[in-house]
């Protein structure tokens, strides 16, 4: 099932996207911002974290904390940040470096978020087909 991305009150509404579909445009991703996208990978629904760093590079990880397998956001697309700008898991407080995705503090220190490959095509940020099949 494919649906388009929409917005409600400025927040991006999750949609189900497949490999090759546009996850976001660069204009939707301000520098140093985190976003959530619902996608379908190998026929399974997944939640992704999108992060565009201060230099404009976009990274994606599965929205699954390596500590206990829970989502990192406290509400879909709502992520906690430390004063230093790290990503903080809303469940038990594991803290992840950005843009690397390594846990630098908390119960899974040393673990990493599972990266998902992206491809940028002009302004469009897409889920890369090859990595999409590998992430299960």
Applying CB under 6 A, the residues found at the interface with ligand FES are 65, 67-68, 70, 89, 91-94, 106-107
**What is the spatial distance between Cα 75 and Cα 84, in angstroms, rounded to a whole number?**
21
Query: Which one, 35 or 67, has the nearer CB to ligand FES?
Result: 67
81 versus 92: smaller Cβ distance to ligand FES = 92
Q: Considering the complex, what minimum distance in angstroms separates the CB of residue 128 from ligand FES?
A: 26
Q: How far is the CB of 104 from ligand FES (least distance, A)?
A: 12
DSSP tally for the chain: helices H, then strands E: 1, 12
Task: Give min distance, CB of 111 to ligand FES, in A.
Answer: 10
**Residues 33-53: b if buried by 16+ CB within 10 A, e if exposed:** ebbbbbbbbeeeebbbbbbbe
- For ligand FES, give the closer residue by CB, 3 or 109: 109
């Amino acid at each position: 099932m494919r649906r388009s991305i929409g917005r409600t009150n400025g927040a991006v509404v999750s949609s189900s996207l497949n490999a090759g579909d546009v996850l976001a445009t660069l204009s939707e991703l301000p520098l140093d911002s985190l976003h959530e996208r619902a996608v379908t990978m190998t026929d399974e629904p997944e939640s992704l974290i999108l992060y565009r760093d201060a230099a404009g590079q976009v990274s994606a990880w599965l929205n699954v904390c390596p500590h206990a397998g829970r989502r990192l956001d406290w509400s879909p697309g709502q992520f906690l940040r430390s004063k230093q700008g790290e990503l903080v898991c809303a469940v038990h407080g594991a803290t992840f470096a950005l843009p690397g995705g390594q846990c630098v503090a908390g119960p899974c220190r040393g673990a990493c978020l599972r990266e998902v490959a992206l491809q940028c095509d002009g302004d469009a940020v897409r889920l890369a087909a090859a990595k999409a099949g590998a992430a299960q």
